[in-house]
Amino acid sequence: MRGRLPLLLLLMTVAGTLALAACTVGATPEPLSTPMPTASAAAAPVANADCSCPCPIPASAQAHAPTSTVPAVSVAGVKLTGQPFFVRATDEPDIRRCQGLVVAAETVTDGTFVSAQQCWDEGAVWWEEAAAETSWESGDLVAAADRWIEIELARTYTLREAVVQADNNDAYLLSYRDLETGGWLPLWTVPPAYSFGMVTRPDPLDNGKRQALPMIVATDAVRLEAEFGDGTYSVSEVQLFGEPSND
């Protein structure tokens, strides 16, 4: 009998550790393929009674839960500045090109995403760089800082989150206008999301998922430009979220 007490204590310790681990993991959304808990499993609230974290939410509820309640900012206008947009850099055939449609600048902030993986020059604001024609396959050219999509906000906002849909194999720099100097300062580098065509960041599978910006800033305008990529760039949607600011 004397040997059984330490064994029992050991088993209780292990069980407690596993319960704590289950509690921590419970905060992470379960895959949608996870079966819904059975009635007997759901009727075991005691198992989570000591959890300090919230108990797991059913997968069906998580799938439609809003990721944020920060309101969308209002946009006063969009302008394409610098070198021309919607112009081919060369007359040489390029297998990357599709139809090369021209769209209004305002489509960048119209609240509409193009279809995932849509061809980069069919429905987005696009541009090409001549320097890219010889070595675009490397996909890591530093973009020429010669043109920008400028988004004027309806007023001054404190920006907190953003969503950007752009060509998959490039990085784009989102900058904001400094309220005191009028100069442009970097805010977020929209990373490549290598796949095909147009891809939403931060989550290629969910246009509603937002990126928490690396800095919270007050501003009245932002701009987006190519940072690096393959010389063919396009942007179809920029969404910004934050509260009106009096700064």
Q: Is 237 in the site for Ca ion (CB under 5 A)?
A: yes
With CB under 5 A as the contact rule, the residue among 48, 83, 107, 158 that binds Ca ion is 107
User: Candidates 80-88, 104-112, 171-179, 180-188 — which segment interacts with Ca ion by CB under 5 A?
Assistant: 104-112
Provide the 8-state DSSP code for 138. G
Collapsing DSSP states into helix, strand and coil, what is residue 190? strand
CA distance 54 to 52: 7
Query: Cis (ω within 30 of 0) for the bond into 202?
Result: yes
Q: Is 161 in the site for Ca ion (CB under 5 A)?
A: no
User: Candidates 22-30, 126-134, 162-170, 203-211 — which segment interacts with Ca ion by CB under 5 A?
Assistant: 162-170
With CB under 5 A as the contact rule, the residue among 85, 125, 141, 169 that binds Ca ion is 169
Q: Which two tokens mark 179?
A: 């309220």
Say which amino acid occupies 220: D
Q: Which two tokens mark 122?
A: 């069919």
Q: Is 110 in the site for Ca ion (CB under 5 A)?
A: yes
In the beta sheet, which residues pair with residue 147?
Answer: 82
Q: Is 123 in the site for Ca ion (CB under 5 A)?
A: no
- Minimum separation from the CB atom of position 117 to Ca ion (A): 13
Q: Is 112 in the site for Ca ion (CB under 5 A)?
A: yes
With CB under 5 A as the contact rule, the residue among 56, 123, 192, 229 that binds Ca ion is 229
Q: Is 121 in the site for Ca ion (CB under 5 A)?
A: no
CA distance 188 to 172: 8
